[in-house]
Structure formats: C-alpha cells, structure tokens
Amino acid sequence: MDRIKRNPGGWGLVLGGAVGLVSIFFVWLVVTNTAADVSSRLRGVGTITGQTIGFSGLLAMIAGLGVIASTGSGRIWWGLLGLLGAGIVLLAGLVAIFSPETLAQNFATNELVATMKLNGAYTSASEAIKSGFDSGALSARLGIGAIIGLVGGLLGILGAIYGFRKKRPEAD
C-alpha cells in the first residue's frame, strides 16, 4: 500500500492516459467543404485513427498502474511503455493544433484503407483528399477533443518521466 502512495509519477501517467482516452469522445476536428458549405464534426471514437489514439491512452493508463505496482527496474519498462502511449496521444494533439488538415487527411486515409478492397482505388482517393485540402475546397479546424488529448498526453509524458526517478526510501 505504501508503494502506491509513494509514486506520483505513476498516478500522473494513469491520469494522463485517462484524459487521453476520454478525449476521443469529444470533437477532434471540424472538416468543412467550402464549395457545398457542409461541415462534418469528427469525433475520435468513430474513426480508426481516433480509436488508435484512445488505445494509446489506455496503454498509458495500464503502464501507469504498472509503474505504481512495480519495484526495481520493472518501473523503467512500464515507464517506457507509458511514455510510448502518452507520446502518441501528445503527438496527435500537436498535429491537430498545428496542422489540422494533416490530421484530417490521416483520419480520412485510414478510413479508406479500412474500408476499400482495391489498392488502386485507395491511391486515387487518397490523392483526391489531399488535392481537396491543397485547393482549398476542404478545410479543417481544431476541436476541443484535440486540446483535451494534448493535455492528457502532456500529463502522461510528465508522469512517465517523473516515474523514472529513483524512489526515496521510507522514513521509519
């Protein structure tokens, strides 16, 4: 029980992973077709890319529990695994903030890969999506889910880094 109280880095990793996981239920991007004046709100939970972000948050949560429960060098391995999971969530949030069009293209392309069976059709459809964003016919804006995911990823990264430190011995 004392081990659980003494490792705040593991708790930060668990909390960061949980926030990253919850972020997929919010809108990550708003994609607008300017020609037809139609907007679509992309929640992470409904897409392959968003589900990957959510599973990365879950991985960070599990790794945080591993950091809390482990002793010795085990916490380093759990911390590295949590760093990977939280890093994916953080990276997705950063891409959404600085280049929402890139993340929107990634969301759409991954959906195409998951649903299309013809490789040639995938290439032409992916190029059509890219050219739509390049020409200005499609635009993407940031949603609140990306900001929540960024905060969760950052909290998880900080928790993982703090979990690497050597534990102080208990005072008797």
Tell me what the pLDDT averaged over the chain comes to.
85
Count of CA atoms in the C-beta half-sphere (13 A) of 121: 7
Note whether residue 132 is domain-resident: yes
pLDDT in tens, 34-59: 877 788 888 888 888 899 999 999 99
Note whether residue 56 is domain-resident: yes
Note whether residue 147 is domain-resident: yes
Q: With H, G, I as helix, E, B as strand and everything else as coil, classify residue 141.
A: strand
Task: Tell me whether residue 36 is exposed, middle or buried, using C-beta atoms within 10 angstroms of its C-beta: 0 to 12, 13 to 18, 19 or more.
Answer: exposed
> Is residue 4 over pLDDT 70?
no
Note whether residue 85 is domain-resident: yes
Higher pLDDT, 10 or 121: 10
Neighbours of 100 (CB within 10 A): 22
> Is residue 172 over pLDDT 70?
no
DSSP tally for the chain: helices H, then strands E: 7, 3
Note whether residue 73 is domain-resident: yes
Note whether residue 168 is domain-resident: no
Note whether residue 172 is domain-resident: no
Higher pLDDT, 84 or 108: 84
Phi, psi of 138 (to 5 degrees): -115, 145
Note whether residue 50 is domain-resident: yes
Adjacent-strand bridge partners of 41: 30
> What range does the domain containing 14 cover?
2-163
Report the domain count for the chain.
1
pLDDT band at 109 (very low <50, low <70, confident <90, very high): confident
**Given this model, what pLDDT does residue 119 score?**
59
